[in-house]
């Protein structure tokens, strides 16, 4: 049996750092559900972001082939090591996850343990530090280090934005960005009482199943993301005004109007009503315009 979180914190004289999002999950049922949702097997390589003192890491280590646990806070490392001392399949990496070359890390691990890790995809499981939720998720999705699934604890409102469908108030650039790479699903609501210390917000566990191929074909990914950003930049404005006011496209309002017409989108619609397919058509129409071809 693992020691109680409070006892470990006392024993190692750990002062939790709020600015690092240190709210430790103490509910074993929730840990179990997270791990079940990730469908972890001995053939899997799992990356855990922010293991803290390792309570979830222990359960991951029991089920996975190999766990790479990336923790920024050096003060937690002695407790983390002791809590994991009976496992030989955990690598602790004391780094800021945003600075880690994930592709390199997974390649290095595979070279050492290649016979066991038969699933050539990687799973990411984390109770995320909420202050950098979006950069962490986008790093893993954009750098594409061969991930097939992410199971993540996030702030409830962020989870709602990630999974939102067109037309609602939660649907925005984050929804489209994540849904370009993965299919999101909300798995579980988690109240503040499941953590030490209790966070001031509600949490949810989400699962992102990463696509082998994106759901839409793009001529230029940068233009797609600029189009999405510009469309949501002024949410109260019509699409035509949001796009032309953004100054992102080297086109007159009339030209933008014609493009919208050509893809069958009403200029008076708001950006938040467009599906990812419509954003793709719009971005591809912009990409096809000579004046936009060289823009970065």
Q: Which residues bind ligand SAM (CB under 6 A)?
A: 20-25, 49-52, 55-56, 70-73, 76, 96-98, 127, 129, 132
Length of the chain: 296
Nearer to ligand SAM, 195 or 249 (CB): 195
Cα 162 to chain center, whole Å?
9
Q: Cα angle vertex 206, ends 65, 193, to 5°?
A: 100
Q: Which helix (H) or strand (E) segment is 127 a member of?
A: strand 122-127
Nearer to ligand SAM, 20 or 251 (CB): 20
Nearer to ligand SAM, 56 or 239 (CB): 56
Residue number with the smallest Cβ distance to ligand SAM: 50
User: At closest approach, how far in Å is the CB of 209 from ligand SAM?
Assistant: 22
Q: Report the candidate in 73, 63, 81 with the shortest Cα–Cα distance to residue 151.
A: 63
User: At closest approach, how far in Å is the CB of 46 from ligand SAM?
Assistant: 12
Cα separation, 176 vs 180, in Å, equals 6
Please provide the DSSP assignment of 19-35 as one string. Answer: GGT--EE--HHHHHHHH
User: At closest approach, how far in Å is the CB of 129 from ligand SAM?
Assistant: 3
Tell me the pairing of strands 147-155 and 195-196.
unpaired
User: At closest approach, how far in Å is the CB of 31 from ligand SAM?
Assistant: 7
Nearer to ligand SAM, 133 or 292 (CB): 133
Nearer to ligand SAM, 16 or 218 (CB): 16
User: At closest approach, how far in Å is the CB of 98 from ligand SAM?
Assistant: 6
């Amino acid at each position: 049996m693992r020691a109680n979180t409070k006892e470990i914190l006392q024993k190692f004289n750990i002062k939790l750092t709020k600015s690092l999002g240190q709210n430790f999950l103490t509910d074993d049922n929730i840990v179990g559900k997270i791990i079940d949702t990730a469908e972890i097997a001995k053939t899997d390589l799992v990356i855990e972001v922010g293991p803290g003192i390792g309570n979830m890491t222990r359960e991951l280590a029991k089920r996975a082939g190999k766990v790479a646990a990336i923790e920024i806070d050096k003060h937690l490392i002695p407790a983390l090591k002791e809590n994991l001392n009976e496992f030989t399949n955990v690598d602790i990496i004391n780094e800021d996850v945003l600075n880690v070359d994930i592709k390199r890390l997974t390649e290095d691990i595979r070279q050492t343990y290649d016979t066991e890790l038969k699933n050539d995809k990687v799973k990411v499981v984390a109770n995320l530090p909420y202050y950098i939720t979006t950069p962490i998720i986008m790093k893993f999705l954009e750098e594409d280090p061969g991930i097939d699934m992410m199971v993540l604890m996030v702030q409830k409102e962020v989870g709602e934005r990630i999974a939102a469908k067109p037309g609602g108030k939660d649907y925005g650039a984050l929804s489209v960005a994540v849904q370009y790479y993965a299919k999101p699903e909300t798995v579980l609501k988690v109240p503040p009482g499941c953590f030490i210390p209790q966070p001031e917000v509600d949490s949810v566990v989400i699962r992102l199943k990463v696509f082998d191929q994106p759901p839409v074909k793009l001529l230029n990914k940068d233009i797609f993301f600029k189009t999405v950003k510009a469309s949501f930049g002024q949410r109260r404005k019509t699409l035509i005004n949001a796009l032309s006011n953004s100054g992102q496209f080297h086109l007159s309002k009339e030209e933008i109007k014609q493009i919208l017409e050509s893809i069958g989108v009403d200029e008076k619609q708001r950006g938040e009503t467009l599906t990812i397919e419509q954003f793709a058509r719009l971005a591809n129409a912009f990409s096809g315009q000579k004046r936009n071809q060289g823009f970065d």
